[in-house]
Structure 1
Amino acid sequence: MPDAVPVARRRDDSSADMGSLVKLGLAEPQPVPQYEGLFLEPPPLPVDDEPA
């Protein structure tokens, strides 16, 4: 089997994830979205007017 070809490391900011860019100081942390009110409440249960 042939030897692996060495690859030079890339210095491209767009190739990193956002967490890594924040740790390196190259980007500001992004706001975390708030999920309040995005989910629907379940419908109310029907109420019988007559006792069983």
Structure 2
Amino acid sequence: MPEPPAAASPRRDPTAADTTSLVALGREEPPPIPAPVFQEPVYPSLPNGYAPDEPA
């Protein structure tokens, strides 16, 4: 039976940090939140066949 892997030790490099930690410390700006992607539905079964690029 193989030996279990050794537990990883915490980082000792004081300059190593993730973005969340840097934002909490005030050293980095938070990353921008991407805009949600929304796709207009197409309803070909309607009487006029509404498509998203046509004016409402």
TM-score normalised over the length of structure 1: 0.46
Give TM-score scaled by structure 2 length.
0.44
Structure with bigger gyration radius: 1
Higher helix share: 1
